[in-house]
Structure 1
Amino acid sequence: MSLLRITHLPSGRLLSAILHHQRLLPSIIPLTVPKRAVIQGEYKRPGQPRKAKFPWKKINFNFSKGLEGIKKHFTLLKKEFTDRWVGPEGKPIVEHMLEQNRAVWEFRGPESLGEWTVSSDREIGGHSEAYLKLGRNNNTCFLYGTLSSTPPRDGETRYSGYCTMRSKQPLASFDRKKHHDWSSFNTLHLRVRGDGRPWMINISAETYFSHQKDDIYCYFLYTRGGPYWQDVKIPFSKFFLTHRGRIQDDQHPVWLDKVNTIGFTLGDKADGPFQLEIDFIGVCKDYAHTEEFAYEAYKRNPEV
């Protein structure tokens, strides 16, 4: 309705026409959806019902368990104070400055497997299976199972087939987050023995914003197969940033002083059994590697 026609209407019909015209305006405005929302809701896997339990219903109010927890946390708190007087992570300052290799995870007993969790698409109705146990002589970690890319029949999931092994978040006293500080090193060092399948190594670091909680740095691990061990050294500069499985355009190096977890994911769509044996996972300082970051980083405030 044009303005010329509105001017010839009576006062009552003129007011109703203006209000009707204003109601039509919101439908004409194009919808703009940001590529990455600042605030994201909790991710719910397809096929799983929403959690209807209140947070306090998950707490086990047990007096004896509470006493054990108090004793444990005060022991950790005491260790934190004593380690600060000695040096970083309880090591002398000279040893910390001259350290070039560090074995972060060594699998030398059943207690070492308690620092890891194993998951697969069976949690969302898939058919893959993954198990974790100690290798021969209790000196290695043996991850094995069966991969199946058949999606669950839930009407929502289209793709499936993954198995994951991931380290637990280290905790300080009173369940405060504790981070791995690898700022003195530049290379990830692994000693593995696989079956020829390609794996994905995932490193999760601490973030400052809530919408970055699903950011993970990834790189590839190619196993040869066969009876021989292989020493794998991957510079941290090669790890690229992903968010919920999607590679991001805005890339930046991993924060090595705030590393939370590390994991291994198999999803090569090759159905059948798999196995991966790990001797140790460590970090080292390679002075021959001078690359800061392998990928193009955009300038946040480009010069005019």
Structure 2
Amino acid sequence: MSLTKITRLPSARLLSSIIQQQQLFLLPPITPVMTVSKRSMLQGEYRRPGQPKEDKFPWEKIKFDFAKGLEGIKKHFTLLKTECFERFVGPEGRPLTVHILEQNRVIWEFRGPESLEQWTVSSDREIGGQSEVYLKLGKNNTCFLYGTLSSTPPRDGETRYSGYCTMRSKQLLASFDRKKHHDWTSFNCLHLRVRGDGRPWMINIAGENYFSYRKDDIYNYFLHTRGGPYWQDVKIPFSKFFLTNRGRILDDQYYLWLDKINTIGFTLGDKTDGPFQLEIDFIGVCKDHAHTEEFAYEMNKKNP
């Protein structure tokens, strides 16, 4: 192409022709997509460092059992019957007058071995760490969480930090394994009766989100135990819980939605190696009329 022809072209056509020549001569050739195997294109679940990779299809993990199938059908239809009758009584099976005038409610009370089945424990041992955590029923019919914390990271070449132990409640399920949420809109404080060893624990509350990319959002607050033989009654307003995502405090803070609470948990990660213990008598919610705060942290309100 001569110089006279280039000057006669408009600027837009000249720029597009230069870009096309760069794409033809400078960019490497694109490999076809069909060369990738079909198995490698399947997106798998997140695997923690140190865990072995399971090279199985999802249907290969299902265990078929006729007896368990009958038990499951009986269980789900019993739950469905209970849900249908609770609608005629009131919210969550309580009369309407009780639901309106209720000031305190015990959500979890540990009075037998069956109450521990509603909880699950985990530690950094899942990623190759050395921490240990156990859960058992205490002498006074309480939840006794104990173990040993170790901040030594695993030697897998990927994990840099380690040292945590967690106890978390299981997700409530309705009939046919539908999600069931806690509704705490009538209350504004979390009420605990605990006895610790002086370590700081983090209380985690996970709520339901409408977007899948925010599934790791958790509301946290620190519980400082005093230690010693005496019990500690703690009331924490829900307005004090701050929003985090995978351990990082978010700049865009928002108050907790109390109508869709999924789980609550306790995490220890104070980087102090050694034994620990936490005893919990009950976990409940209450209504404090003297507390009128909506949210304790600054919210990024958009300019209308």
In structure 1, C-alpha distance between the alignment counterparts of 2:3 and 2:278, rounded to whole Å: 78
In structure 1, C-alpha distance between the alignment counterparts of 2:24 and 2:220, rounded to whole Å: 49
Look up the match of 1:129.
132
Look up the match of 2:166.
164
Q: Is structure 2 residue 227 aligned with structure 1 residue 225?
A: yes
Q: How does 1:118-157 map to 2 (within 5 A)?
A: 118-137=121-140, 139-157=141-159
In structure 2, C-alpha distance between the alignment counterparts of 1:5 and 1:168, rounded to whole Å: 76
Answer yes or no: is the 8 Å Cα contact 1:6–1:17 preserved in 2: no
Of the three residues 90, 94, 97, the one matched with 2:97 is: 94
In structure 2, C-alpha distance between the alignment counterparts of 1:173 and 1:18, rounded to whole Å: 60
In structure 1, C-alpha distance between the alignment counterparts of 2:158 and 2:5, rounded to whole Å: 51
Q: SS of 1:256's equivalent?
A: coil
Look up the match of 1:104.
107
Look up the match of 1:266.
268
In structure 1, C-alpha distance between the alignment counterparts of 2:185 and 2:262, rounded to whole Å: 13
Q: Deviations over 1:53-100 (max 9, x none)?
A: 222222221111100000000000000011111111111110110000
Answer yes or no: is the 8 Å Cα contact 1:194–1:275 preserved in 2: yes
Q: How does 1:165-180 map to 2 (within 5 A)?
A: 165-180=167-182
Instruction: Return closer, same or farther for 1:17/1:250 CA change in 2, 3 Å cut-off.
Output: closer
Q: Percent identity?
A: 78
Look up the match of 2:118.
115
Equivalent pairs, count: 281
Look up the match of 1:45.
48
Q: SS of 2:275's equivalent?
A: strand
CA shift, 1:4, in A, is 6.2
Look up the match of 1:21.
22
Instruction: Return closer, same or farther for 1:267/1:25 CA change in 2, 3 Å cut-off.
Output: farther
Q: SS of 1:123's equivalent?
A: helix
Of the three residues 248, 251, 255, the one matched with 1:249 is: 251
In structure 1, C-alpha distance between the alignment counterparts of 2:72 and 2:179, rounded to whole Å: 16
Q: Structure 1, unaligned stretches of length 5 or more? A: 9-14, 28-39
Look up the match of 2:201.
199
Instruction: Return closer, same or farther for 1:252/1:42 CA change in 2, 3 Å cut-off.
Output: farther
CA shift, 1:299, in A, is 1.5
In structure 2, C-alpha distance between the alignment counterparts of 1:100 and 1:233, rounded to whole Å: 13
Instruction: Return closer, same or farther for 1:115/1:16 CA change in 2, 3 Å cut-off.
Output: same
Q: What one-letter code is carried by the residue in structure 2 that aligns with 1:224?
A: R
Q: How does 1:235-246 map to 2 (within 5 A)?
A: 235-246=237-248
In structure 2, C-alpha distance between the alignment counterparts of 1:258 and 1:157, rounded to whole Å: 34
In structure 2, C-alpha distance between the alignment counterparts of 1:54 and 1:161, rounded to whole Å: 33
In structure 2, C-alpha distance between the alignment counterparts of 1:24 and 1:132, rounded to whole Å: 66
Q: Structure 2, unaligned stretches of length 5 or more? A: 8-15, 29-42
CA shift, 1:18, in A, is 5.8
In structure 2, C-alpha distance between the alignment counterparts of 1:41 and 1:200, rounded to whole Å: 31
Q: SS of 2:259's equivalent?
A: helix
Q: What one-letter code is carried by the residue in structure 1 that aligns with 2:81?
A: K
Instruction: Return closer, same or farther for 1:24/1:279 CA change in 2, 3 Å cut-off.
Output: farther
In structure 1, C-alpha distance between the alignment counterparts of 2:116 and 2:4, rounded to whole Å: 79
Normalised by the length of structure 2, the TM-score is: 0.87
CA shift, 1:223, in A, is 0.1
